Amino acid sequence: MKTILLAKSAGFCYGVRRAVDLAEHAAKDGPNCVMLGPIIHNAHVVEDLARQGVQRIDSPEELRGGERVIIRSHGEARGVLERLQEKNAQIINSTCPKVLRIQKLVQDAEKEGRIPLIIGEIQHPEVLGVAGWCRNPLIFQGPESLKNWLKADPGRASLPLSVVSQTTCTQKLFEICTEILKKECTNLKIFDTICDATYKRQSEAAEIAAKVDAIIVVGDRQSANTRHLTEICSGICPAVFQIERADELPLEDLKRYDTVGLTAGASTPARIIKEVYTTMSEETIVTGGTEDFAKMLEESFKTLNTGDKVTGIVTAITPTEIQVDLGTKQAGYIPLSELSDDPAAKPEDIVKVGDEIETYVVRVNDVEGYATLSKKRLDTVKMWETIEEAKDEKTTLEGVVTEENKGGIVVSVKGIRVFVPASQSGLPRNADMSELLKQKVQLRITEVNRARRRVVGSIRAVQYEARQAAAEAIWAEIEPGKKYTGTVKSLTSYGAFVDIGGVDGMVHISELSWSRIKHPSEVVSVGDQVEVYVISADKEKHKISLGLKDRSIDPWDKFISTYHVGDVASVKIVKLMTFGAFAEVVPGVDGLIHISQIADRRIDKPSDVLSEGQTVDAKIIAIDEENKKISLSIRALLQSDEQDAAEEAADAEDAEAQDAE
């Protein structure tokens, strides 16, 4: 044996280390503490805890009442926890967070009316524990039993199945089983619940096994993940030796091999791995590998200090915290309040299990064996550097408006308070600043004083540049007939000004509506979104004339198709003149009622009879199609009424005469 190739991922995973730490701290807290079953699958660890006073029991019935009971990392069924509560036991739950997630998945599946299907070793404590959180789970150890179950009843293919796996299941086995289910089943939900640490460990073991002449796998023979490592290596490397401790090393056999690999299961303590490594190193002339394993083991014993900047791997996300594996003896936790400065942010949108994350150590509790971390505070330190750089380079930043302040607003930019004066808020003068609260805004940094922790910014500067860029784009492509969606910015007596995206154009009052109006406010209001089209654009003078009324409709055509000479129309008086009154027949088409046609008597002026806005019936007495002019008469209708009345009176007299005869 001349060379040793070492696996970087070996020894306690996060869940196992957390369970052992909890048990050791429980032992220090006093007597009357037991573990329900082996806390992890490693006899040496269980024996060591027993020497510390944590004895093992195998069922809740062994309790006398009032004991502190440690739940093993594999977890327990819901019924077991209920029996412990009946015994008044104080439960210390060291169940791996990843196992807790699987327990929740099967519970949720059952609530949704689905059937939980578990891929794993039928008698493994983790699988039994997960199965105990639902009523009728299906458990399959491998593809053969799964195929047989599906063949036994074709109707099973349509069952609503939610698939999970044992955390230490091999990726290959899980993929084979899920492929079978995908082909056969029609109502399927698949959750890959293999522990990412397990997958990483298995991948590294396979990589090393392909490079060596022999490989050593260290771990308890009852450990499923150790057994799976051995199975994976055996399919690649011709010589695989699984041992529990250094005194089992086949040193004489190893001398025949030039290159030997070394890996270990997730339940193997670092001290045992170190013993094996040291023993192998004494027999080795040249050592090397993917990682300095001895250094890595030493790292796992290092302690943390407040103020340290550390990097770890996200191992679990719970409703209250993010759990981080720091590769040290302390477990790392990031409270949700220390994850982000944005109160509306969701943890799963910021980090994912398996992500590498850089954090700041806020507090170390060596007694409890954990470190409180903060991503937010480290982000703040980095953000100060970003803020200063943004000012120098005039880059745009994004933040959330958190409060209205005297003279302006405060914007939180990644935890940094940026004051924006009212004049730089982008709102009109005397506008209500509170309308910006909780909104995301873009701003430019104009002043930074890190010593005084003072930062000043401008939203208006960003808006101005955006408006300028938009205006340039519009002027580059604007042409008559082009349509835009715009916002009404202001109204005057002669029209409305509309912002079409960085440029203001004017809609003359005559272009707002086919109907005759006195003021633009009859058609639009400030803030309205309107569809407008370009009538003309003067690029030199930067003036744009816009239209709002629909020019695809010709009001005269509508009039001609609707009315003829002799028809009676209900018209609206729109303007009074000395010689008569103009009345709207249809929107966009007016007719003249000459003063002589307003009444059946002589009048001095139209206003003696009519008023603007009044609606009256009038008869169409002439249509000049060439000049698009209409003559109307109210008098014609009045005379017609008188004639009808005279004829009715004559008819009545004739009828009376006939009755008298």
Task: Give bridge partners of residue 261 from the DSSP assignment.
Answer: 5, 215
Q: List CB contacts of 191: < 8 A, sequence separation 6 or more.
A: 102, 105, 162, 163, 164
Comparing C-alpha atoms, which of 625, 67, 20 is closest to residue 269?
20
Comparing C-alpha atoms, which of 387, 386, 414 is closest to residue 402?
414
Q: 330 and 364 in contact (C-beta within 8 Å)?
A: yes
Residue-wise DSSP of 415-481: TEEEEEEGGGSSSPTT--GGGGTT-EEEEEEEEEETTTTEEEEEHHHHHHHHHHHHHHHHHHH--TT
Single-letter residue type at 154: P
Pairing outcome for strands 55-57 and 33-36: parallel
> What are φ and ψ of residue 303, in 5° steps?
-105, 160
Phi-psi category of residue 127: left, alpha or beta, with phi > 0 → left and psi -120 to 50 → alpha: alpha
What is the rounded CA–CA span in Å between residue 169 and residue 189?
Answer: 18
Other Cβ atoms closer than 10 A to 415: 18
Catalytic residue among 67, 76, 121, 126: 126
Task: Indicate the DSSP class of residue 644.
Answer: H
What is the rounded CA–CA span in Å between residue 596 and residue 599?
Answer: 7
Strand order in the sheet with 240-243: 3-6, 259-264, 214-218, 240-243
Token pair of 456 as six digits: 């000043």
Comparing C-alpha atoms, which of 293, 291, 288 is closest to residue 276?
293
Single-letter residue type at 453: R
**Alpha helices for 167-292 (secondary structure H):** 171-184, 196-209, 224-234, 251-254, 270-282
- Longest Cα–Cα distance of the chain, Å, equals 153
Strand order in the sheet with 55-57: 55-57, 33-36, 68-71, 90-93
Active site residue 126: yes
Within 32-144, strands assigned E span 33-36, 55-57, 68-71, 90-93, 115-119, 138-140
What is the rounded CA–CA span in Å between residue 4 and residue 212?
Answer: 9
Token pair of 451 as six digits: 């010593």
Q: Which residues are catalytic?
A: 126
